[in-house]
Structure formats: structure tokens, C-alpha cells
Amino acid sequence: MSDLSGKVALVTGGSRGIGAEIARTLADRGAAVGLTYHSAADQAKGLVKEIRANGGRALDIQADNADPGAVRAAIETTAAEFGGLDILVNNAGVFPSGPLEEVTPEELDRTLAIHVRSVFTAAQTASRHMTDGGRIISIGSCLTERLPAPGMSLYAMSKSALTGLTRGLARDLGPRGITAVVVDPGPTDTDMNPAGGPAADFLRGFIPLGRYGHARDVAGMVAYLAGPGGRHVTGNSILVDGGFAA
């Protein structure tokens, strides 16, 4: 499929897991893709090589999402390299968890910097490059809809901010033909949450479909929203969670 031919995308945290699959899928559909990473340089460069070997266009950029200036620069670099920006995917994320009383001010600040401050800055910067048909897609979490265990207040709070931001972006940018959506994955088999990890059986117990998601499940939804089918979807959140929040 090449419904994204001529489009330019930037995926934050595109070196591994869900972000890597999103970058691969957007490139498969014809988009030129900039992807950021924090420390997995080899994996980011390997994915860029793979996309180029398949005839696509891609670029890897080191950018710590805790630093809004780095994210801004990544967007500028991608837009300069490929001639504009049509699709922003805010995917980079961490998973702070543990007893409430053990959350440090540093962990609180860093989590909010990665999941909230940089996402706002990225959307603001991207909007300067986007024209009619632009898409801002942020990866949230099903834990904002259902939180079945203690120890995840900080994570859930930081991901919940995307809902309000996305509603605001829909209002701010809708008149320019730009949409904003949150995609909320359920438990998805990645380094962050392996299907064979210690929490996996507990989490699977909440999923009517009885299985972990694959990064492809999330990437397919993102690609749909980024393409022509997503033109009238904005200001809301879409669960890709196997029914976890049902």
C-alpha cells in the first residue's frame, strides 16, 4: 500500500517496540520517516538501513524526549531533510512504577518532561510545518481508562495529560485541517512489557481476547489514522487494547 506517498512523518522513540513498528509501517506505505531514539543508536540505525534497503526514505536522530529543545530540533531536521512535515507520532515513553511513597521529585519531573512537556513542544513545533491534512497522533495507554493495580499513579497521570492536550489541539488546529488523536495501547509485547514478563499473566487476565497485543496492532491503527481514512477523526482517544478497559 502506498497511501502515504509524498508524506513526511516524525516518530519519537522509533528505535524499538511500538515506535519502531510505526516507523516501519509508515515507511512501507510510502512516507519518508524521521525517527528519534534516546540510547539505542544501533537499533535506530539498523531500522533506517532496513527502510532504505526496501526503497524507502528514513533518518535517525538522537533526541532525549526529556529535553524539549532536542525534540524541536528533531522536527526541524526532519522537515528540512524531507521538505515539510505531515505526520507527528508522539510515541517515546518510559514506565515508572512502584510504591507511591518511593516516587522521587526527579522521577516525577523526568516522566512529565518525556510524556507531557516534550509532546506539547513537539505538537507546537510540528504545527508550524503542517498544512491541511496534517496529523498529530500520540501514544497514550489503556491504563488511563482502567488502572487495575497500585504503583502506576505517575504513569497514568502523565499519559492522561495527552487526552486534554489532544482535545485542545483538535480545537486549535482543526480550522487548518489538522487532526489530533490519542491511540491507547493495551498490554503490548515489547521490551517495556514483555508477554513473558512477571506482570504478563496478571495483565492478560483483564483482556477478553486473552492475549497480548503485537506492536503491529498499534502501528496499523496509527497508519490508518495517518492516511486518508483518518481525515475526520480528531479530538478523541482510540483504544487498541484487546478489550482491557471494557
- Examine residue 217 and tell whether it contacts ligand NDP (CB under 6 A): no
Which of 91/160 has CB closer to ligand NDP? 91
Select the residue interacting with ligand NDP from 91, 160, 163, 166 (CB under 6 A): 91
- Examine residue 192 and tell whether it contacts ligand NDP (CB under 6 A): yes
Note if 155 is an active site residue.
yes
Catalytic residue, chosen from 37, 155, 212, 224, is 155
- Examine residue 39 and tell whether it contacts ligand NDP (CB under 6 A): yes
Select the residue interacting with ligand NDP from 8, 10, 18, 130 (CB under 6 A): 18
CB count in 10 Å sphere of residue 33: 30
- Examine residue 185 and tell whether it contacts ligand NDP (CB under 6 A): yes
Least distance between ligand NDP and beta carbon 13 (Å): 3
Distance CA 91, CA 23 (A): 10
- Examine residue 64 and tell whether it contacts ligand NDP (CB under 6 A): yes
- Examine residue 138 and tell whether it contacts ligand NDP (CB under 6 A): no
Residues identified as active-site: 155
Give residues in contact with ligand NDP (CB under 6 A).
13, 15-19, 36-40, 63-66, 91-94, 114, 139, 141, 185, 187-188, 190-193
